[in-house]
Amino acid sequence: MSDPSKIRTRRLLLRRPLAADTEAFVEVHTSAEAHALSGFGRRDRDESLRLLERFQLDWDTRGVGYWTVLAASTGAVLGFGGLRHAVDEGENVLNLYFRFLPAAWGHG
């Protein structure tokens, strides 16, 4: 994989988050339903915007991070997810993260 910032499958497009994703990002991250099983509460708008900045910074500084997940057929944002470098209890780890709009659930 030569360019991890964009991956296409038959049904999905994964790409680095863009400013155009802001409202969808806020919608996902302020949704109580989208966070029901996460172990973390939903965020407010300002917290969501700071989180999006962090996601974008990962791409700028590390060349990899969480993706925006879109339907390949329509370009609609379904959610966000992927792997990111993190530190947990002093250890370097890869963190798996995903949040999807409830309307995207149940489609395999």
61: Cβ contacts below 8 Å, ≥ 6 apart: none
Per-residue pLDDT of the chain (108 residues; tens, 9 = 90+): 578 889 999 999 999 999 999 999 999 999 878 767 776 778 899 999 999 999 999 999 998 999 999 999 999 999 999 998 889 999 999 999 999 998 898 887
Q: How far apart are CA 50 and CA 74, in angstroms?
A: 28
The CATH number, out of the four listed (3.30.70.100, 3.30.420.340, 3.40.630.30, 3.40.50.720), of the domain defined by the range 6-101: 3.40.630.30
Q: What are phi and psi of 44, to 5 degrees?
A: -90, 180
Domain boundaries, the chain: 6-101
Cα dihedral sign, 90-95-100-105? negative
Q: Which two tokens stand for residue 99?
A: 């949040």
